[in-house]
Amino acid sequence: MKPRSFAFALALTFSAIVASLAEEPKLVPLFNDTDLTNFKAAGSEAFWRVENGVLTGENDAAKKGNYLWTEKEYGDFIIEFDVRWKGVTDRGIDTGIEMRKPKIQLQLGTSGSLRVDMSGSWYTGGKPAYPEVGQAKEAKKLMKPEGEWNHFRIQAKGDTFTCWINGQKASEYTDAKFSGAAPLGLQIHPGVEMKCEYRSVKIVEL
């Protein structure tokens, strides 16, 4: 390739990279690493706390469930976070991120109804509760071992919900029914002895 042609090609590549970076929405912290600012803490203090910059959720002795809801409602958005958990019993961990109206959830850990790990799959509460088209069937290959941090990215845009695990697309589900803006909820499932931890929680509205 001639020097002038090479320089032109390099310039085009650089321009494409700059354009790509410019199009990437800038996420801002949802969790401030210090307290439950931006969340509805009332009624959830017994279940959620901040330890060394980590948002920690744990059920009580009665194994009651809880949702830590955001103060703000979200329609179209991208949220990213690191999460880890470790099962205390053979029931594993049952948590997730709930969004939109009516409720749809990105499952993290073991499904209470199926008793299998459905991390990265979309739970609709319908029949079936986990539509096959929205299941993250390769999640185990994408995730690090239990107890280590895994990075999740969730996008809700229009009628489509997408999940990435550690940078790789894991699932996508389309359903126009889940269209209403709503607070986001971090779940502690009832009836399960469990603990989950979140850090670097960032979000952007689209």
Residues 191/111, Cβ–Cβ less than 8 Å: no
pLDDT at 24: 80
pLDDT at 18: 47
- Which of 32, 13, 29, 30 is CA-nearest to residue 21? 13
pLDDT at 3: 57
pLDDT at 64: 87
- 150-178 pLDDT, tens digit per residue, is 999 999 999 999 999 999 999 999 999 99
- 89-98 pLDDT, tens digit per residue, is 666 788 999 9
Assign 3-class secondary structure to the chain: CCHHHHHHHHHHHHHHHHHHHHHCCCCEECCCCCCCCCECCCCCCCCEEEECCEEEEECCCCCCCEEEEEEEEECCEEEEEEEEECCCCCCCCEEEEEECECCEEEEEEECCCCCCECCCCEECCCCCCCCHHHCCCCHHHHCCCCCCCEEEEEEEECCEEEEEECCEEEEEEECCCCCECEEEEEEECCCCCCEEEEEEEEEEEC
Whether pTM exceeds 0.85: yes
The percent of residues above 90 in pLDDT, for the chain, comes to 73
pLDDT at 90: 62
pLDDT at 112: 82
Q: Which pLDDT tens digits describe the chain residue by residue (206 residues)?
A: 555 665 555 555 555 554 445 578 999 999 999 999 999 999 999 999 999 999 999 988 788 899 999 999 999 999 999 999 987 666 678 899 999 999 999 999 999 888 899 999 999 999 999 999 999 999 999 999 988 999 999 999 999 999 999 999 999 999 999 999 999 999 999 888 889 999 999 999 99
CATH of 27-205, one of 3.40.30.10, 1.10.10.60, 3.40.190.10, 2.60.120.560: 2.60.120.560
Domain positions in the chain: 27-205
Angle (CA) 107 109 111, round 5°: 70
pLDDT at 88: 67
pLDDT at 194: 87
